[in-house]
Structures are given as structure tokens and as C-alpha cells.
């Protein structure tokens, strides 16, 4: 989920954010690394308002039609950057961190068989004031700190996901987080071979709304879905 999502990354989306789902804390070494600060986790956990219910219903109908499988997300330009997190989600990002409308989530997340689970909608965190995204209570949002993600592929074709470094550390090492490179990650000792890095991107500071598209008995904005097994 976005953070993490994601989800979850740790999106932390959250969950993810996060996303993508998750009580997006850094708790399990194998779990998606969510980078939400403790004071910027969701504050509101109440029932859905009429506006929120309408939003969830609309994205369920739309996203399940356009992006039912991970393959559909990849065809639309979404790139996988996580393994399966502790909510059962695998996150894909399109690197567009301003969700202009409900049809264009910044992240989508899928289960291990490639079926759509949910989405992250985000806006840059240019203010400490929680924004309202598509009618959702601002208290439902996560704030994720700026961080650089990358994905590696070894000579045998094995993929390694969930690789990340805080933007402040990347910057302190002489890199520009807004324009991350494989060579900089090698120089920092974060990777051994630049050619093995197939994806590298910056997830800037964002406010992130993590939403289950798959029906969830606990509610569309809940951390986990009892119908999904990690």
C-alpha cells in the first residue's frame, strides 16, 4: 500500500499506502517499510460518510474494470516495487504523486496471485495541514516522508524489492533525491552493481489516502482485510 504502500511503504500504505496498508510502522524486517511518522498516521477511524461511500463505490466499479490484474497495471505504466507486505499486498506505483482525479491513483496494490486489492491516492505534503482528498475525512490520511526506492535484478533474473533509503541520507551522500541514480546508490554502498538496478525513483513527501477496492468487512479505510491472506 503505499509506502506504502506505499502501501503500504511504507507507503508505509499503507499502507500506503501502504500502499498501502499496514499499521504502517517499521516493525517486521520482511514487511514493507512504511515511512509515516507516528504523529502523521491516521487520526480518524469512524464509519464512512455519504461522500466517502460514494467515492469508494465509484473507484470499485472503475478500477476493478480497468485494472483487475497486476498485468493491467503494468500495461498502464505502474511499476512493481515491493514484495508481499503484512496485509497481503504488493504495490505498484506510476510515479505521479498528485492524484488529479479518482481514476488516477498514484499506486495500485495486488495480492500474490495478481488480483486487485486497493489503491493509494496522494498529494504532495507541502503543508502540515491535512488535506481533503475526494471527500475523505482528512484524518484518514498518512503522511509519508521523502525517500528513494529501487528494485534490483540479479544475473539469474531474481528480483529484489523493498529497497529504500531516506532522502536526507541520499542527499547527505551528495545525491539529488528528486533525480536518483543507480550509480549514486552504488557509491553509497547501497547496491553493488548499477546495472542490476532496473528501477529507481523518489517518493517525495506526500499525504496518502489508502483505500481497499476489494470489499473489506472492516471497511474500505481499514488497515487490514480479513478476506486477504498475506
For residues 70 and 121, what is the distance between their CA atoms, to the nearest angstrom? 17
Residue pLDDT, tens place only, 77-100: 999 999 999 999 999 999 999 999
Is there a single domain that holds both residue 83 and residue 185? no
Is there a single domain that holds both residue 173 and residue 102? no
Is there a single domain that holds both residue 195 and residue 85? no
Domain membership of residue 2 (yes or no) is yes
What's the total number of domains in the chain?
2
Domain membership of residue 83 (yes or no) is yes
Is there a single domain that holds both residue 34 and residue 99? yes
Is there a single domain that holds both residue 47 and residue 85? yes
Is there a single domain that holds both residue 56 and residue 107? yes
Is there a single domain that holds both residue 64 and residue 112? yes
Is there a single domain that holds both residue 57 and residue 163? no
Is there a single domain that holds both residue 126 and residue 70? yes
- Residue 166 domain boundaries: 147-203
Domain membership of residue 230 (yes or no) is no
Residue pLDDT, tens place only, 106-147: 999 999 999 999 999 999 999 989 999 999 999 999 999 999
Is there a single domain that holds both residue 198 and residue 209? no
Is there a single domain that holds both residue 197 and residue 210? no
- Residue 30 has a pLDDT of 35
Is there a single domain that holds both residue 20 and residue 79? yes
Q: What is the pTM of this model?
A: 0.87
Domain membership of residue 229 (yes or no) is no
- Residue 161 has a pLDDT of 98
Amino acid at each position: 500500500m503505499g509506502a506504502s504502500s506505499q502501501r503500504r511503504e511504507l507507503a508505509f500504505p499503507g499502507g500506503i499506502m501502504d500502499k498501502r496498508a499496514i499499521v504502517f510502522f517499521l516493525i517486521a524486517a520482511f514487511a514493507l517499510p512504511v515511512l509515516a511518522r507516528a504523529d502523521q498516521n491516521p487520526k480518524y477511524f469512524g464509519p464512512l460518510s455519504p461522500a466517502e461511500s460514494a467515492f469508494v463505490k465509484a473507484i470499485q466499479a472503475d478500477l476493478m474494470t480497468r485494472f483487475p490484474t497486476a498485468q493491467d497495471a503494468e500495461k498502464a505504466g505502474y511499476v512493481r516495487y515491493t514484495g508481499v507486505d503484512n496485509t497481503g499486498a504488493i504495490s505498484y506505483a506510476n510515479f505521479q504523486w498528485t492524484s488529479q482525479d479518482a481514476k488516477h491513483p498514484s499506486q495500485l496494490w495486488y495480492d500474490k496471485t495478481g488480483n486487485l486489492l486497493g489503491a493509494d491516492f496522494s498529494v504532495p505534503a507541502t503543508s502540515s495541514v491535512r488535506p481533503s482528498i475526494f471527500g475523505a475525512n482528512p484524518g484518514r490520511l498518512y503522511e509519508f516522508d521523502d525517500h528513494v526506492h529501487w528494485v534490483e535484478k540479479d544475473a539469474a533474473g531474481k528480483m529484489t524489492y523493498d529497497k529504500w533509503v531516506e532522502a536526507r541520507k541520499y542527499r547527505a551522500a551528495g545525491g539529488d533525491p528528486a533525480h536518483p541514480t543507480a550509480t549514486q546508490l552504488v557509491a553509497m554502498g547501497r547496491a553493488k552493481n548499477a546495472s542490476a538496478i532496473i528501477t529507481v525513483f523518489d517518493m517525495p513527501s506526500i499525504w496518502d489516502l489508502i483505500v481497499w477496492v476489494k470489499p473489506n468487512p472492516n471497511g474500505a479505510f481499514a488497515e487490514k482485510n480479513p478476506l486477504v491472506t498475506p
